[in-house]
A and B are shown apart, each in its own frame.
Chain A
């Protein structure tokens, strides 16, 4: 089985990289880009039957720093 974990900076945490990307899009002439947030997508190849609680533990212990990041799990 496969799962995807999306890791994003929490709302309210300033994302300087997203802000730089937003600025660059403006420079390229793409008007109206009001915000860019940059995150990570992690694909996991897992033993069949791995439950979502186990994936959540992986996120809490390593994949995300929950001080500044939130995550979302998508089991495929």
Chain B
């Protein structure tokens, strides 16, 4: 499986993402935000966490207009896989690849801790390594993770089984406690928690391993 990890000015989880993907067996290339195209044969684009462009204007807004993001949108349009974590999730909503928006946390505080999540669906390449209803623990570290979406779209997300992860307890004001969701074709996942920070026993937990392991396995098999 060939993966590309996008690097923006202000990304700070890009190397963690590359380490997690490589540990799962992916062949990883880093791509710079000014690149206008992705390397040939890329199956997965990972948009990492951080503070792209200093969170100026809105989190992810400027990154979403960068040359590489036009290539990422085209990749998704061809049915390619995209994983956006934290700031990467914000970028995906700003590009329109995922619906809704991520607003300032309801409590206004930056939240940095390991939280309980409930896997909502195993029916995606990203979550096939878990079972629906499974409780897992992953770190979160964000100021703007308060997922907002209109009621009609929320009903559609729920009806189409597109919510991937929920917080086990209310955390940041997110509608329906949503922590992550997939696109209509189930190949674009955005999530606020950091699976790449939970792939090594030294991290204090390895609940993120299954995401990368199954994603690589499913994409190789496809």
Q: Which residues of A contact B (CB under 8 A)?
A: 13-14, 16-17, 20, 61-63, 65, 67-68
Asked if B106 contacts A68 (CB within 8 A), the reply is: no
Pairwise interchain contact A62-B104, C-beta atoms closer than 8 A: no
Looking at the assembled complex, report how far the CB atom of B98 sits from the nearest CB atom of chain A, in whole angstroms: 11
B80 adjacent to chain A (CB < 8 Å): no
A20, A62, A67: the one contacting B108 at CB < 8 Å is A20
Is A67 in contact with B100, judged by CB distance below 8 angstroms? Answer: yes
Cα A20 to Cα B108 in complex, Å, equals 8
By a CB distance below 8 angstroms, the chain A residues around B94 are 65
- B residues apposed to A, CB below 8 Å: 57-58, 61-62, 65, 93-94, 99-101, 103-108, 146, 148-149, 173
A44 to B152, CA, bound (A): 35
Q: What chain A residues lie within 8 Å of B101 (beta carbons)?
A: 65, 67-68
Most chain-B Cβ atoms within 10 A of its Cβ — which of A13, A16, A63?
Answer: A16
Residues of B within 8 A of A62 (CB): 57, 61-62, 65
Residue of B with least CB distance to A67: B101
Among residues of B, the one whose C-beta sits closest to the C-beta of A38 is B104
**Of all chain B residues, which has the CB nearest A63?**
B57
Neighbouring A residues of B107 by C-beta, 8 Å: 16
Question: Which of B61, B104, B149 touches A16 (beta carbons < 8 Å)?
Answer: B104
- Using known A-B contacts A14-B173, A62-B65, determine if residue A68 contacts B148 with beta carbons closer than 8 Å: yes
- CB within 8 Å: A-B pair count: 34
- Pair A67/B93 contact, Cβ less than 8 Å: yes
Which residue from chain A places its CB closest to the CB of B107 in the assembled complex? A16
Report Cα–Cα, A74/B104, bound state, in Å: 27
Partner pick for B58 among A16, A61, A65, CB 8 A cutoff: A65
Bound CA span A20–B94, Å: 26
A68 contact set on B, CB distance < 8 A: 101, 103, 148
- Taking a contact as CB atoms under 8 Å apart, the answer to whether B57 and A16 are in contact is no
Q: What residue in chain A is nearest B59 (Cβ atoms)?
A: A65
Q: How far is the CA of A13 from the CA of B106 in the complex (A)?
A: 12
How far, in whole Å, are A63 and B65 apart by their CA atoms in the complex?
Answer: 11
Q: How far is the CA of A16 from the CA of B149 in the complex (A)?
A: 16
**Most-contacted residue by chain A among B62, B99, B103, B149 (CB, 10 A):** B103
B93 neighbours in A (Cβ, 8 Å): 67
Please judge, given known A-B contacts A62-B61, A62-B65, A68-B148, whether A14 and B100 are in contact too, CB under 8 Å: no
Q: List 10 A-B contacts (CB under 8 A).
A: A13-B103, A14-B173, A16-B104, A16-B146, A17-B108, A62-B62, A67-B101, A67-B148, A67-B149, A68-B148
CB distance from A22 to the nearest CB of B (A): 13
Residue in B61, B65, B104, B108 whose CB lies within 8 Å of A65: B61
- Taking a contact as CB atoms under 8 Å apart, the answer to whether B148 and A16 are in contact is no
A26 to B106, CA, bound (A): 19
